[in-house]
């Protein structure tokens, strides 16, 4: 497997069922984020992506959004030395115009500090929506045509792919937790030949054994890509 993409769903519901504050569910989810990085390193999976915060998530209460932004900020800064020590690259993927100004500079610093790390690339899809990504790519390509840099006949799948926010290979597996079976505006263009795997467990309840089983299931699949 080259690229594992994850929709880590169910943090709030896990917290509610365990009679905990919603933020504690997100904090427990962070521990599984760290576990997943170690799993990918151990299994030599070079790319992993997490659906961290969607553009639709901006509909949530300001208090919850601010707590999530603050938590992400603190976690990335705190773990920067570990990222560097373990040769992990961190990339933020999304509409940067929505990035909170209070820590946008720190996020860019983390990206720059880890940009030469090679063992694992972690893409955090933050302020991200696949339809917005495709619309933005369309605008970029239209501008290239308008400026005379390319012709309409030059536009192909590679042209679109190169204009997307994501720069990693398409995901081999898209894994979603919490029993919900939909993509929720996640990597729509890139998912053309991804294998979809859905787990009933909430993200905070996921263990390494769950990831191992998904990896084994993937290796058992014969992938023909239409041939």
Please identify which of the residues 57, 67, 136, 185 carries the catalytic annotation. Answer: 57
Taking each helix axis from N to C end, the angle separating 62-85 and 22-43, rounded to the nearest 10 degrees, works out to 30
33, 72 in Cβ contact below 8 A?
Answer: no
DSSP designation for 128: E
Residue-by-residue DSSP string for 25-90: HHHHHHHHHHHHHHHHHHHT--EEEEEEEEGGGGGS-HHHHHHHHHHHHHHHHHHHHHHHHTTEEE
Cα 224 from Cα 205, distance rounded (Å): 33
Instruction: Judge whether 9 counts as a catalytic residue.
Output: yes
| H or E stretch at 208 | helix 208-219
Instruction: Judge whether 106 counts as a catalytic residue.
Output: no
Q: How many CA atoms lie within 13 A of 188 on its CB side?
A: 11
Cα 134 from Cα 142, distance rounded (Å): 12
Which residues are marked as active site? 9, 57
């Amino acid at each position: 497997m080259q690229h594992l993409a994850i929709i880590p769903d169910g943090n709030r519901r896990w917290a509610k069922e365990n009679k905990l504050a919603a933020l504690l569910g997100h904090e427990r989810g962070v521990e599984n984020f760290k576990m997943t990085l170690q799993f990918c390193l151990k299994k030599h999976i070079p790319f992993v992506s997490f659906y961290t915060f969607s553009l639709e998530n901006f509909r949530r209460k300001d208090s919850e959004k601010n707590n999530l932004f603050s938590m992400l900020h603190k976690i990335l800064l705190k773990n920067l030395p570990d990222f560097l020590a373990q040769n992990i690259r961190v990339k933020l993927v999304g509409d940067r115009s929505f990035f909170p100004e209070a820590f946008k500079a720190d996020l860019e610093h983390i990206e720059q500090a880890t940009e030469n790390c090679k063992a694992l690339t972690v893409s955090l899809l933050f302020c991200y929506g696949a339809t917005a990504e495709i619309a933005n790519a369309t605008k970029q390509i239209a501008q290239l045509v308008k400026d005379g840099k390319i012709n309409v006949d030059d536009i192909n799948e590679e042209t679109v792919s190169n204009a997307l926010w994501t720069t990693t290979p398409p995901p081999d597996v898209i894994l979603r937790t919490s029993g919900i079976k939909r993509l929720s505006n996640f990597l729509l263009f890139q998912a053309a030949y991804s294998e979809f795997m859905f787990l009933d467990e909430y993200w905070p309840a996921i263990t390494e054994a769950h990831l191992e089983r998904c990896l084994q299931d993937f290796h058992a699949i014969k992938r023909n890509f239409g041939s």
